[in-house]
Amino acid sequence: MDLKRRDFVKKSLIASSVAAFSPNVLLAATRAPKQKLGVALVGLGYYSKDLIAPALLNTKHCELKGIVTGSPEKIPVWQEKYGIADKNVYNYNNYDSIANNPDIDVIYVILPPSMHKEYTVRGAETGKYMWCEKPMAPSVADCQAMIDACNKNKVGLSIGYRCQHDPNIQAYQKVMREQKFGKVKMVNSAAGYFDGRTNHWKQKKAMGGGVMGDMGVYAIQGARLSTGEEPISVKAHLSTTRPEIYHEVEETATYVLEFPSGAMATCQSSFGINMNHLQVNYEKGWLKMEPQTGYGGNRGSMSDGTTIYTQVDRQQPMQLDDDALAIKNKKPYLCPGEEGLRDIRVVEAVLKSGANGGCEVKL
218 assigned to active site = yes
Handedness of CA 117, 203, 254, 46 (dihedral sign): positive
CA dihedral 177→182→308→286, nearest 10 degrees, is 140
Neighbour tally for 110: CB within 10 Å: 24
The total of other beta-carbon atoms located within 10 Å of residue 75's CB is 17
Q: Is 62 left (phi over 0), alpha (psi -120 to 50) or beta?
A: beta
CB 112 within 8 A of CB 201: yes
Instruction: Report the 3 state secondary structure along 194-229.
Output: ECCCCCCHHHCHHHCCCCCCCHHHHHHHHHHHHHCC
Q: Per DSSP, what are the bridge partners of residue 258?
A: 233, 264
Cα distance between residue 329 and residue 10, in whole Å: 37
Omega into 102 within 30° of 0, i.e. cis? no
Residue type present at position 136: M
Q: What is the rounded distance in angstroms from the CA atom of residue 30 to the CA atom of residue 213?
A: 45
- Which is the catalytic residue, given 218, 246, 255, 282? 218
Which residue of the set 117, 134, 235, 288 is catalytic?
Answer: 134
49 is catalytic: no
State the catalytic residues: 134, 218
